[in-house]
């Protein structure tokens, strides 16, 4: 079966997919990549029987998923105009994923995260079309996920991309107004 879309996933999405028991279905449906930082971050998830381990490196080595790594220069290019106070709310894995999309190192991939600050950063960089909500990912895979955390819903994703775009226009959270 041909995989339909290229996904670059944040740690919260990897963990949620494992917690919901849909990780294998997502890998079957989508071509999945994770930022290198996520390989180190996403090690355990909570299940009804306690914590279970995740070994993304083993899946990378087996060719089941891919790993992409941003350079320091790519991170700087993506975020050099954001205020430190705004950047403090974005985790390293999210920064790396966004930088990979921003710098064109993940052509065709869409970034998926449930972190609202990261989603706003996507809007601030005018990359809304290169991102997707976890709810849309699950629905696109034909998985009947009963409910997702609000920040992973389509509505929250759209709202926070819009908030980021509004910040881009107003200059809020930028060290200098962006060129629109």
CA-nearest of 129, 142, 131 to 4 is: 142
In 43-89, at which residue ranges do the beta strands (DSSP E only) sit?
Answer: 44-47, 50-53, 66-68
pLDDT in the model for residue 43: 74
Confidence of residue 41 (pLDDT cuts 50, 70, 90): confident
> Is 24 exposed, middle or buried (CB count within 10 Å of its CB: 0-12, 13-18, 19+)?
exposed
**163 vs 122: CA distance, rounded Å:** 10
Alpha-carbon gap, residue 78 to 83, rounded angstroms: 12
Compare 177 and 16 and report the one with higher pLDDT: 16
Residue appearing with tokens 């998985």: 143
Q: Are 39 and 56 in contact (CB under 8 A)?
A: yes
User: What tens digit of pLDDT does each residue of 133-176 get?
Assistant: 999 999 988 887 777 889 999 999 999 999 999 999 999 999 99
β partners of residue 66: 33
Mean pLDDT lowest for which of 46-50, 70-74, 126-130?
46-50
CB 60 within 8 A of CB 67: yes
Check residue 177 and report its DSSP letter.
-
Domain 6-170, CATH class in plain words: alpha beta
Whole-angstrom distance, CA of residue 88 vs CA of residue 159: 21
pLDDT tens for 42-63 read: 776 776 777 778 899 999 999 9
């Amino acid at each position: 079966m041909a995989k339909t879309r290229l996904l670059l996933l944040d740690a919260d999405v990897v963990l949620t997919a494992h917690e919901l028991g849909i990780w294998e279905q997502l890998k079957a449906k989508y071509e999945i990549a994770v930022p290198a930082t996520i390989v180190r971050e996403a090690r355990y998830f909570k299940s009804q029987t306690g914590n279970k381990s995740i070994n993304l490196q083993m899946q990378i080595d087996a060719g089941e998923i891919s790993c992409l790594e941003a350079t320091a220069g790519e991170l700087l290019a993506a975020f050099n105009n954001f205020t430190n106070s705004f950047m403090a709310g974005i985790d390293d894995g999210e920064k790396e994923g966004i930088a990979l999309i921003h710098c064109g190192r993940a052509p065709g991939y869409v970034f998926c995260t449930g972190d609202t600050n990261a989603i706003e950063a996507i809007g601030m960089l005018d990359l809304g079309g290169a991102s997707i909500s976890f709810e849309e990912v699950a629905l696109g895979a034909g998985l009947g996920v009963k409910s997702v955390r609000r920040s992973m819903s389509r509505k929250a994703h759209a709202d926070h991309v819009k908030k980021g775009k509004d910040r881009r226009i107003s200059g809020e959270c930028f060290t200098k107004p962006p060129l629109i």
